[in-house]
Amino acid sequence: MSAEYMHIGIPITNKKPGMTYNEGAKFWVSNVDDYDYKIEYLKFEEGTPFPEVLHRNPHVAYKVDNLEHYIEDADSVICGPMDSGSGKARLAFVWKDGAVLELYEEK
């Protein structure tokens, strides 16, 4: 099993310059390469399908080689697994040891 750090996701209430809007999921997201330390800022809009817990808590994202294994190892599943939107990956958000983790598996 392998997990590689990708970014930390931080929910915000005010949009930052350069953020991209995801119309289907109703949230704004920054490019992690625009910030030191691989920070992803997220601003959720009303009607987003993402659960409230993601609007209020930061998450740490990992690229994993076996999504199901890491989901089974989690304390609980927040949402997912789901398509990443690009069709090239699947992801899930889970609670593990008191932290919110994003698990990302390329297809």
- Percent of the chain at pLDDT > 90 equals 86
What span, in angstroms and rounded, lies between the C-alpha atoms of 96 and 90? 18
Instruction: Give the range of the structural domain holding residue 76, as residue numbers without chain letter.
Output: 3-106
How many domains, the chain? 1
CATH number at residue 68: 3.10.180.10
Would the pLDDT of 85 be above 80?
no
Contact between 42 and 9 under an 8 Å Cβ cutoff? The reply is yes
What span, in angstroms and rounded, lies between the C-alpha atoms of 48 and 22? 10
How much is the average pLDDT of 76-87?
A: 89
Segment 36-78, tens digit of pLDDT: 899 999 999 999 999 999 999 999 999 999 999 999 999 999 9
Classify 83 as helix, strand or coil.
strand
What span, in angstroms and rounded, lies between the C-alpha atoms of 76 and 95? 5
| Residue 71: its H or E element | helix 67-73
